[in-house]
Amino acid sequence: MLKVKICGIKTLETAVEADRAGADLIGFIFYPKSSRFINPFKAAEIAKSINCKKVGVFVDENPGTINGIARLVGLDYVQLHGNEDAKFAAKIRRVPIIKAWRYNDELDMREVNKYPSDYILFDSFVKDRIGGTGKTFDWHKASLETRKLTKPFFIAGGISKQNVQEVVKIFRPYGIDLSGSLEIKGVKSIHKIRDFMDWVNNLRGEENISTSSDEVVLSK
């Protein structure tokens, strides 16, 4: 089943709504420079009220701090979204790792496969921006490269109700990651979350979207 990750959650209301609507994962951003940053103590309170999986997004943070926040919040996954190398990843304790890569022509899938993460996330490459750009990348070109992967992966960057079917057909991903398309003026919209998840849930039911690390079946 296609996984849906809604990232940049900052309030209890949006977390609960995303959970009720059928999101599989929600993302808390613990990068202070992000407009979607959330205090770890607030995230911990929100986490008590939801059942879906919780992802903590970090950018070049101290490993000890990451491990501490993971325990405090009860994270199910740690997402490394910066320049963290393999030695850094080895210091993350007892929590599966999602490693984010910004896709461009210089990205080497051999390097991606070797990285000690459990999952991979591809986001758009925008100079001087870490992520959350709301921009898509060359999906058709990238899909040729992702066939070389040996791990399940997520696709992020400009995904919305209008193109979710396309991205699934092109990539056959384990999951998709959304943030900006579910916002109005930088704030998560309950209406947009419900609308998107209704759309995806209908696709799951009517078209039987199922995924694994290496295939997706779309059939009526």
Domain ranges in the chain are 3-217
**pLDDT recorded at residue 202:** 87
What are 21-38's pLDDT values in tens digits?
Answer: 999 999 999 999 999 999
Active-site annotation holder among 7, 19, 52, 177: 7
**pLDDT recorded at residue 130:** 56
Task: Specify whether domain 3-217 bears CATH 1.10.10.60.
Answer: no
Confirm whether 123 is a catalytic residue: yes
**pLDDT recorded at residue 214:** 40
**pLDDT recorded at residue 151:** 95
What gap in Å lies between CA 120 and CA 77, rounded to an integer? 12
**pLDDT recorded at residue 45:** 98
Which residues of the chain are under the pLDDT cut of 50? 131-132, 212-220
**pLDDT recorded at residue 15:** 98
**pLDDT recorded at residue 134:** 59
What gap in Å lies between CA 200 and CA 132, rounded to an integer? 21
**pLDDT recorded at residue 136:** 82
Query: What's the pTM value of the predicted model, to 2 decimals?
Result: 0.89
Active-site annotation holder among 19, 123, 195, 198: 123
**pLDDT recorded at residue 180:** 93
**pLDDT recorded at residue 212:** 45
**pLDDT recorded at residue 207:** 55
**CB proximity list for 44: less than 8 A, separation 6 or greater:** 72, 73, 74
CA angle in degrees (0–180, nearest 5) for 208-209-211: 130
